[in-house]
Chains A and B, each alone.
Chain A
Amino acid sequence: MKVKVKGWHGVAVWRWDVPNEEVCGICRVPFDGCCPTCKTPGDDCSLIWGECTHVFHMHCLLRWLQTEGSRGQCPMDRRTWVTAK
C-alpha cells in the first residue's frame, strides 16, 4: 500500500424522500421548499406521511385537519388520516 487513507470528511445534503419536483397537495409548493407560513425549508418545516401513503407539509396538513370541513380525513382520498409510523 503506497497510499493510505487516514480519514475523510464527507459532505452530504438531505432532502425529503419524495419523488423529485413533487409538490404538496395542499399548498402546491415543492416539498423541497417550505410551507407558506415558514421561511426556511428543512427541519423547521417537516413533512408528514399518512398510512394512505399521501404526504404533505406537516403545517399544511395540521391546519387542514383543524378545519371543520376536513372531518379528520386525508384531503386526497377522504380516508381518515392516520399518520404513518
Chain B
Amino acid sequence: MSLRSKRVVFEKAFAEFRQDLEIMFNFTGLDQVSGMKMYQLVYDMCTAAPRPHTEKLFNAIAGFLNDYTIQIRESILNHDDVVSAYAREWNHYSLAARFSSMICDYLNKLLVNNKSRAIADRKMTVQGGNYRRQTVQALAYLIWKKQIVYTIKEKHSDRFMYQIFEMIRRDRDGEDTVPDVVSDAIISLVELNNLTENPLSLYIEEFEKPYLKNTRRYYERESAAASQRLEEEKARNSKYCHQSSHVTIIKECETQYIAAHQSIIQGEFEAMISNERYEDCTMAYTLLSCIPDGVNPLLEIFERYITNIGKGLIVRMGNSIAKDPREYVESLLDHHSKYLTVCQKVFVNGAAFVAAVDKALRAIVNNTTINPLAHSPEVMARYCDVLLKKTHKGGWSEHEVEDKLNRMIILFKYIEDKDVYQKFYSRMLAKRLIYGNSASEEAELNMISRLKNACGVEYTSKLQRMFTDITISADVNKDFSDFLKKNPMNIGVDFSILVLTAGAWPLTQISATEFQLPTELEKSVTHFSTFYSSQHSGRRLTWLWHLSKADVKLTYLDKRYEFSVSLYQLGVLLLYNGADMFTFKEIIEHTGLNDQELRRVMKPMIDLAVFIVSKPGGTLNDETEIRLNLEFSNKRNKIKVSSSLQAETPQETDATRKAVDDDRKLYLQAAIVRVMKSRKTLTHAQLIKEVIDQAKSRFIPNVPMIKKCIEQLLEKQYLSRTENKDKYFYMA
C-alpha cells in the first residue's frame, strides 16, 4: 500500500469502487472483493493531487445508495409479505452499510473527525451535494429512512405499518402469533436513528404513536363488544333457561366479562373525559356499574379531573382577579355547568357523579393556595357589587343582571367562609346605599332574598335592616322639612340625611379625625339634632362626616361650575373663601383632618387643577403651598370630584378581614356557651365537635381559635374545668 498522493482520474477510480460496493450490498460474489483494495481506492481518491476528491467521493456514494435503495424498495413492495421482505433486506443493508463505512474509514475521518473544522461547519452540507457531513453509515441509514420508510408510508399507503398492525391484531385475537421478523422490522426503526441526536424519535413517531392509537381503538371495540355480548347472553338465557336463573346468570356473565377488562377501562377513562369522548364514557359507566364498586374509581378520576382543570383556570387568571372579578366567577360557572351537563348526558344524571362535581367545585372555590388573589368569598362579593352598581357605559339589562346573579348563587353555595362573603357584601351594599349608586332596588332585594334562601333569615337580617333604614330616612327627611316649615328656622342650605342604625351597618370609623364642621353647615346639624331627639328619645346621633357629601357653586371663575364633593373636600374648599393660598399644615389645622386623609381628598382636586401646588408631582408635606387656581376651566359645568374617594381602599379591605375574625371569635364564644348551657358537662373533644357543627354553615372554624375562645370563657368564669381536668362544666 502506498501512502504517497498521486494523480487519480476520479471517474475511473470510482467506477471501480462502485462495482465492489454493488457486490457488497448484493451479497453476491463476495469472494471477488478485496477490502484492502477498496480501502486503498478510497485513500487514493481522498489524497489525490493536485486536489483531493473527498467531497466528490462522498456525493458519489450517496448517489449509489439512493439508486440502490430505490431498487430495494421496488423489490420489497413486490412481495405480498412486505414485513418479512423488509426485515430481510434491512439485515443485509445494515450489515453492508456497516462494512462499507469501515472501508471508508479514511473518508469518514476527513468528513467528521477533522478537529480543525468548527462544529458549525460540520452541520453544513458537503459541497456539491445534499447531505450533511456524516459517516457513510449514518448516510446509508438516512437514505434508507427516506427512500424506504417514508416513501412507503407516503406513496404506498403505508403498507409496511399496516401489515405490522394487522399481525399484532391477529395475535391479540388469538388467530396467529407474531413472527420474529416483526420485531426485527420494528427494531430497525430504533437502529436507523442510532446515529442521530434523537435516537428514539423515529421509533416513537412511526411506531409507538400509531401503535397506542391502534391499541386504544382495539379496546374500544372490545368494550363495545362486551356490551353486545351481554345483550346476546340475556337473549340466549330467556330462550332456554328457567326464569329464576336469569338474574344469577347475567350477574355471572357481567362479573366475568367486565371485571376482566375493568382496569383497562379505568385506565382509559381520564383520556376519554379529557378528549370529550363522551360515548365511550357512557359505555365505561354502563359496563362498570354492573359490577360492585366498579364505578368508584371512575368517580375519583372524574372528580380529580374537574378539580385540576378548575385550579388550572384560576392559576391562569393570575393578577387579573384583583382587577375584575367577572372572569373568575363566570369561568368557574361555565366549568361547573359543563360538567353538570356531562353528568346528565353521560352518566344518566347519576347522583354520585353530580356529587363528584360538587366536591370538585368545593375544592376549587375554597382553595386559597394556588392563587393568593383567588379569595372566593371576597371575589364573589365584588362580582355582585359590579353587577348591582350603576354603570356608566352600556352595562347589562336588568334581565341579564338577574340571570348572572341567579347563576352566581350556584357558586356561592360552595363557599365555606360564608361569613367573609357576608361581611364584604354588606360593606359594599352599605356603600351602594349611602352613595346612592345602586342600579336598582328591585335587583338588590332579589339578591337578598336569594341569599336568604341559601343561608337562612339570620344571614340577611342586617342587610334587610339596612334597606329599612333607607326607607325610614326618607320619612325622617320629610318630617324634618315639615318641622322646619312650622318653626321659624332657616338652615340656609338644602339638607338631607340618612340616619342609620349603628348595629346593623358595617361602618367602622377608620380614623379618629376631629373634623371641623364648616360654619355654613352648623345650623342644619344643630336643628336636626334637636328635631331628632324630640322624635326619638334615648337615642344618640353620631355624624359620619367621611360619608357625607355636598354640592357647591364656584363663583370666582368666568364660567359657573358646580362640584359634587365629599364633606372633607368641602371643608377645604370653604377655607379658600378667606384667602387664595394655604399651606398644607394650615389646612390641617383649620379642617382637623389628618395628613393621610387630607392627601387623599386633595388628590382628585389637584388632579383636576382646582388647586395648584408649589411642588407639583411630589407628595404633599407641611410646607407645601396650595393655591386656588383662579384660571380653572373645564368642558363640563357639573363635575363629580368625590367619586374616586368612594372606591374601596386597601385599608378598608384589611379592616373588613379583621372584622370577620373578630366576629368569628364572638360567634364561637356564643356557640360554646350555648352548647355548654344545654349539655352542662362535656369533654374537650366533644365540645370542639359540637362547636364546629354549629359554625359549619357560616365558616369552618380552626381548632386553635376555638381553644382560645374556651380559655377566654374559662377566664370570664362562664366555664370551669372538672377536678380531674378532662371535662368542662357550665357555670350558671
Contacts and interface: CB of A to CB of B under 8 A. Distances in A.
Summarize A's interface: helix, strand, loop or mixed: strand
Contact of A12 (B468, B500, B570): B500
B505 A2 contact: no
B548 A11 contact: yes
A11 B500 contact: yes
B686 interface: no
Nearest to B457: A39
Given A8-B551, A43-B472, A43-B501, A13 B493 contact: no
A3 B434 CA distance: 25
A46 B574 CA distance: 40
Given A13-B499, A15-B539, A39-B461, A2 B521 contact: no
B567 interface: yes
A7 interface: yes
A6 B553 contact: yes
A34 B503 contact: yes
A4 interface: yes
A10 interface: yes
B511 to A, nearest CB: 16
18 contacts: A3-B552, A3-B556, A3-B576, A5-B493, A5-B574, A8-B551, A9-B496, A9-B548, A11-B544, A12-B498, A12-B544, A14-B500, A14-B536, A14-B540, A14-B542, A16-B539, A17-B540, A34-B503
Contacts of B552: 3-6
A49 interface: yes
B503 A8 contact: no
B518 interface: yes
Contacts of A7: 493-496, 550-551
A16 B498 contact: no
Q: Pick from A12, A34, A44 the residue with the most CB of B within 10 Å.
A: A12
Interface in B385-426: none
A13 B547 CA distance: 11
Interface in B467-505: 468-469, 472, 493-505
A40 interface: yes
Interface string B528-562: 10001000101111111001111111111000001
B309 interface: no
Interface of A: 1-17, 32-34, 39-44, 46-47, 49
Interface in B555-581: 555-556, 562, 567, 570, 573-574, 576-577
A11 B543 contact: yes
B556 A2 contact: yes
Contacts of A14: 499-502, 532, 536, 539-542
Contact of A8 (B457, B494, B576): B494
Contacts of A11: 434, 497-498, 500, 543-544, 547-548
A48 B495 CA distance: 31
B504 A40 contact: yes
Nearest to B554: A3
A13 B500 contact: yes
Contact of A32 (B464, B494, B502): B502
A78 B17 CA distance: 131
Kindly state the interface size class of chain B when it binds its partner: 35 or more
Contacts, number: 147
A15 B567 CA distance: 22
Interface in B438-467: 457-458, 461-462, 464-465
A34 B540 CA distance: 16
B628 interface: yes
Contacts of B536: 14
Given A5-B493, A40-B462, A17 B554 contact: no
Contacts of B518: 5
B507 interface: yes
A47 B538 contact: yes
B595 interface: no
Given A3-B574, A14-B541, A39-B461, A9 B497 contact: yes
Contacts of A15: 502-503, 539-540, 542
B579 to A, nearest CB: 10
A11 to B, nearest CB: 4
B74 interface: no
Nearest to B505: A13
Contacts of A2: 554-556, 576-577, 628
B633 interface: no
Contact of A42 (B503, B540, B543): B503
Nearest to A2: B556
Contact of B520 (A5, A13, A34, A46): A5
A59 B525 CA distance: 32
B208 to A, nearest CB: 67
B524 interface: yes
Contacts of B520: 5
Contacts of A40: 461-462, 464-465, 501, 503-504
Contacts of A4: 552-553, 555
Contacts of B540: 14-17
Given A7-B550, A12-B543, A39-B457, 8 more contacts: A5-B570, A6-B494, A6-B562, A9-B550, A10-B528, A12-B541, A13-B541, A14-B499
Contacts of A6: 493-494, 550-553, 562
A10 B495 CA distance: 8
Question: Closest 5 interchain pairs by CB?
Answer: A7-B494, A41-B503, A42-B501, A8-B550, A2-B556
Contacts of B532: 14
Contacts of B468: 43
Contacts of B555: 1-4
